[in-house]
Structure 1
Amino acid sequence: MKKVYYLILIFGLCFYDVNSQNLVDTSYTIQSTFAKDRKKFPFIQIAKVYKDKRVVEEQEIVYKEIDSRGLHLDAFYKKSKKLNPAVVLVHGGGWKSGNKSQMESLGNAMATKGYSCFAVEYRLSPEAQYPAAVLDIKEAIQFIRMNALKYNVDGTKIAVLGCSSGGQLAALIGTTNSTSTSSVQAIIDMDGILAFKHPESQEGKVASLWLGGDYESIPEIWKEASALTHVDQNTPPILFINSDMPRFHAGRTDMIEILNKYNIYNEVKTIPNAPHSFWFFDPWFATTVDYSVQFLNRIFNK
């Protein structure tokens, strides 16, 4: 019993995935977040997945194999002769929990607006530490480009959108556009930090689990994993959609200063009086989709 108890303390609610042979942290789910957030916001509802008959949904597409372990993505797109911009959707969960199914509502909603969307599975910290998740998502982008025609994708117009830790990953991927096959042309960061060590940042144990140690032990890794370190004249346009909690946009002001120096387009949209995971819930879900689509329409001239 004591061993089980300690596992719960360390990993939260977990189960063993017989397919990947890895312990999976299930502490961050839409339902558990709803149960927690409705105590402060009793009026919220989980945003429903609205199915549009014109949108094709394909699940569990293998984009990468590691030994016998497959990594998957879910695709949401309209079948047509027109090539649409793509949006790579990166879920949150503190780099240790969450899964791609949490992006289904956003994927469906944005697909109806003319975007080919892809919710990506990536390795989390119980399975593999930084930079595994970054490499996985970049390879998913490469897969999407290689299969662009199949999913009605314009390979010159790919955006990455992430929520919370997924937002951190999206910003990092977008600011490290070193390879053309995995490059992105726009970033949407929803409440993802831009710097792990920053006056506004409160990152500690969860970040340490993913990065492989605390700041005092490996300061160079904490710096390397921060998008703020890499922002330069090659950074694509970026939209920040934030709650009004400062800890979740640590480094944003500093990044905007650099973006403005290079005349790189950027926007900040604030969702006031909302929980951190506002994208899961009504009354904010539609606003989140609208902000995202309006930004992408501008960047991609739609």
Structure 2
Amino acid sequence: MVLRWLVAASAAVVAVLMVLFAYVIVAVRVPAPFVLLTHVVSDYGLYLIPLGLVGFALSLIAFGRKGRPGVRWVASASGLVCLLGVVAAGFPLAAAWGTAVRQEASLSLGEYLSGDTNTAAPVESPGTVYNTVDGQDLKLDVKLPEGAPVRPRPAVVWVHGGGWRNGDRGEAPQWHKWLIDKGYAVFAIDYRMVPPARWRQSPADVKCAVGWVKQQAATYGVDPDRVLLAGGSAGGNLALMGAYADDRVPPSCAVADTSVNAVAAFYPVPDLAEAWRDTGLPERMRTFLADYTGGTPDQVPDRYRAASPATYVRPNLPPTLLMHGDRDHVAPYRGSAELAERLRRVGVENRLLTVPYGEHIYDFTWTGWGTQISRQVFDRFLADHFPAP
């Protein structure tokens, strides 16, 4: 009888977990305390189905034929909850499948189960200095495809995220490798980070890096007239700033040309003031924003506008790819949706990939449904607007 109670208790524990995950799945706006669960749903949601089935199997074992009424009641309630949880866990799967169909992308179960990640330890390479400013050497890593190029390669300048205060150029190594395998030269850059407030300096460093790559094009066998900016989170904000900002944001070094042919941003922050108001993690995001700008939107509104890519939307901007999870608690999804609409209104070619149930940094799980779809959408964007030889 003790064993049956233990089995029933185990089924009940699984049932409680399934209730929590089901709440996260069906809730319109998930409170901050449940963010960890939204990451699980975003990156590993498929595993909730076998978890619920295990809970249901445990409840059947505990129910038995001769179990005590209390045990049988716990077992039956747990079994029902686990089955309902399995149904709820099917929603993200169905949403991913529907998005894949609409985007003409394929999903691989085998790849999903492999569990590969898109993270790396802090970079240890000495790097190449592209600018020295304020007594600080700003570095980048040059990552080139194997073999001598038949003709100059297109270049991708990759900007790391981290809330403008953390991270380094080693971030997102799988994206770097993916681009290199397709024939792109990748220049993964560092930039000045807070403290102090860097709302002016960080985008200036990104522009400097683009100009440096163009100046050094012959050295690395790249085409100076074919440069794309890319990055995620704060790096997405800075990639868009590097592509959009006009002469009000000059480069931090003496370079002549900082223009790019296209820009790709993962879960960016297009409008800093809107992110302050709409973020699902206000304590965390507002700290990032205040440190980056030196104040709140009420205290330094001009800085929030100057550091927002949305401020610079106008005709003839580079083609833009935006990829954003609709459950992002850090950088609000609405920011990308509104930016895409603004770009459309002024005739700028753009594409917005909405990743269903996607949390912030969803692509750090390299084999997840959202990342699988993103790779194929990104590949199509590159083929249309920035093809490699």
Judge same fold: TM > 0.5, yes or no: yes
Q: TM-score, normalised by structure 1?
A: 0.77
1:115 is aligned to 184
Per-residue deviation, residues 35-80 of structure 1 (Å, max 9, x unmatched): 994587456834268xxxxxxxx86111111254211111111231
Bigger drift between 266-275 and 199-208 goes to 199-208
Distance 2:301 2:196 in 1: 22
Among 192, 211, 222, the residue aligned to 2:293: 211
Which consecutive residues of structure 2, in runs of 5 or more, have no partner in the other structure?
1-34, 48-111, 120-124, 251-255, 280-284
Is 1:276 the counterpart of 2:363 in the alignment? no
2:218 is aligned to 149
2:278 is aligned to 201
Is 1:140 the counterpart of 2:224 in the alignment? no
Give SS of 1:182's match.
coil
2:52 is aligned to none
| Counterpart AA for 1:290 | Q
Distance 1:263 1:146 in 2: 30
* Displacement of 1:209: 0.4
If you compute each CA radius of gyration, which structure gives the higher value, 1 or 2? 2
Alpha carbons 1:194, 1:250 under 8 Å: kept: no
Per-residue deviation, residues 76-131 of structure 1 (Å, max 9, x unmatched): 11231321211111111111111111132211110110111111111111255211
Among 208, 227, 231, the residue aligned to 1:162: 231
- Root-mean-square deviation (Å): 2.8
Distance 1:101 1:137 in 2: 16
Among 302, 312, 332, the residue aligned to 1:220: 302
Given the superposition, is the C-alpha separation of residues 80 and 35 from structure 1 closer, same or farther in structure 2, using an over 3 Å criterion? farther
More helix by share: 2
Is 1:85 the counterpart of 2:157 in the alignment? no
Distance 2:186 2:150 in 1: 17
Bigger drift between 252-261 and 189-198 goes to 252-261
Trace 1:262-273 onto structure 2 (pairs within 5 A).
Answer: 262-273=346-357
Alpha carbons 1:177, 1:184 under 8 Å: kept: no
Bigger drift between 159-168 and 286-295 goes to 286-295
2:376 is aligned to 290
Distance 2:117 2:381 in 1: 21
| Counterpart AA for 2:365 | F
What is the count of residue pairs matched by the alignment?
A: 262
Distance 2:37 2:354 in 1: 23
Distance 1:82 1:286 in 2: 30
Give SS of 1:183's match.
coil
Alpha carbons 1:46, 1:282 under 8 Å: kept: yes
1:26 is aligned to none
Alpha carbons 1:195, 1:250 under 8 Å: kept: no
Identity among equivalent positions (%) equals 25
Among 322, 334, 358, the residue aligned to 1:240: 322
2:138 is aligned to 71
Alpha carbons 1:171, 1:227 under 8 Å: kept: yes
2:386 is aligned to 300
Distance 2:387 2:38 in 1: 40
Distance 1:85 1:245 in 2: 33
Q: TM-score, normalised by structure 2?
A: 0.61
